Structure 1
Amino acid sequence: MIDTRARHTLGAATLVVALASLLLACSGSPDAASGGGTSPSHDVRTTASAPAAEEPAAADATEPAPGVEKVRDVFARLQATYNDGCTTQGNCEYFLGRVLDELNSLDASMKADPQGPAHFKEPLAWIATLRSELGGDRSFENLKKHQEQLIVTRDRINDWMQGHPEDYR
C-alpha cells in the first residue's frame, strides 16, 4: 500500500509530465501535436548543428547599433526636461545634470543611428561645443556657470528635431 505522501509526489510528478507534454506539443510545429512533425528538441539540435557559413539576417536599417537607444527615445527624455528647472539648489543640480546626461545620450544615439552622423551634423556640433566649454567638469558649480549654454543647446536641438519629425516619430 502506498502512503499518502508518496501518492501526492506521484500525482505531482504525473501532472508535471502531462503539462510538459502539452507545452511541447503546443510549442512545436503544427504537425508536432499529431506526431507528424519533428519534435522541438530535434529543431534545437538541428539549428545548433547548422553550418556556420550561413549569413546572419541583415540588421534592420531603422535600428541603431546594439546597446544604443533610438534617437526618438532619448529625444523624448530631453523634451521632458522642459517640465523641470532650477527652482531650488537641489533641484537645479539634478536638472542641469539631467539635461547634460540626455544631451550626451542623444549624441551617442545620433552617432549610432542608421542615417549616420552626417544627418545630425548640426546637433552633434552643438553638443561638441557644449562639451568643449564644460571641459569635462560635471560639477554643479561648472554646470551652473554654463547653465545658459546647456539650455540653449537643448533648445536648439529641440527646434532642429521639430524640423525633422521623421527622426523622432
Structure 2
Amino acid sequence: MRISRRGTTALLAAPLAAALLISCSSTEERPGTGSQAAPSSTSSPLAAAGADGGAQPGNGAVEESATPSPAPELVRDAFAGLQATLNDSCAADCAYFLGRVHEELQGLDAAMKADPKGPGHFPEPIAWIEKLRTTLGGDHTYANLKKHQTLLLGTRDRINTWMQDHPDDYR
C-alpha cells in the first residue's frame, strides 16, 4: 500500500497534535521540572468518553483517567521520526523522501520549542532548522527541496549527531 505525501503528513501530524493537546491541557506538575501547565477549561475527549470509550456512570462527573504525556516525549518521538529517515534515500521516491525529511525537521523544531526546558535548551538544532527554513524561503516544492538537498540532509545529519551527544533529551 502506498500512502501519498499528503496522507503521510496527516498521519504524522495527528499524533503530534494529540500529544500537544494532552500536554497543554494538564494541570499536574511535571516531574523534575517544577513547572505547571496552565489550567484547561476542557477535558480530553478520552476522559469525556471514559478510558475504554464507554459512557461514564454516575451523575455526569468526568474524571481524567489517562495521565498526559510530558513534553519531553514530544522531542523523543519527533527525533525518532527523523532518525527513521537515516536509512532512506532518493533512490526509490526522491520527492517523498525529501518531503519527509523536511516534515520531520519541522516537527522536531516544534517539539523542541514546546519542551519544558525551553527552546534555549536546543539552540544549535533550532538555529540549523531556522537556517534551512530561511534558505528554502517557504518553498517546500520538490524542485526547491532537491535544489537544497545537501543542506536539508546535512541539517538532518547534524541534528542527529547533536542529539546523540545529548541522550537525556530524547531517552
Partner residue, 1:143: 145
2:75 aligned with 1:71: yes
Which of these residues, 113, 116, 119, is aligned with residue 115 of structure 2? 113
1:91-130, aligned counterparts within 5 Å?
A: 91-130=93-132
Structure 1 outlier segments of 4+, above 3 Å: none
The Cα of 1:41 is off from its aligned counterpart by 1.9
The Cα of 1:82 is off from its aligned counterpart by 1.0
Alpha-carbon distance between aligned partners in 2 of 1:134 and 1:105, rounded to the nearest angstrom: 16
Alpha-carbon distance between aligned partners in 2 of 1:139 and 1:123, rounded to the nearest angstrom: 23
Which of these residues, 85, 91, 109, is aligned with residue 81 of structure 1? 85
2:58 aligned with 1:41: yes
Cα distance per residue 1:61-84 (max 9 Å; x no partner): x8229xxx7100010010010121
Amino acid in the other structure paired with 2:164: Q
Amino acid in the other structure paired with 2:104: E
Cα distance per residue 1:17-68 (max 9 Å; x no partner): xxxxxxxxxxxxxxxxxxxxxxx625x55x79xxxxxxxxxx97x8229xxx
| Partner secondary structure for residue 70 of structure 1 | helix
Higher Cα radius of gyration: 1
The Cα of 1:167 is off from its aligned counterpart by 1.1
| Partner secondary structure for residue 97 of structure 2 | helix
Alpha-carbon distance between aligned partners in 2 of 1:130 and 1:118, rounded to the nearest angstrom: 18
Q: Where does the alignment leave 5 or more consecutive residues of structure 2 unmatched?
A: 1-56
1:7-18, aligned counterparts within 5 Å?
A: none
Q: Kindly report the root-mean-square deviation, in angstroms, between the aligned alpha carbons of the 2 structures.
A: 2.3
Number of aligned residues: 112
Alpha-carbon distance between aligned partners in 2 of 1:144 and 1:41, rounded to the nearest angstrom: 58
Partner residue, 2:161: 159
The Cα of 1:124 is off from its aligned counterpart by 0.2
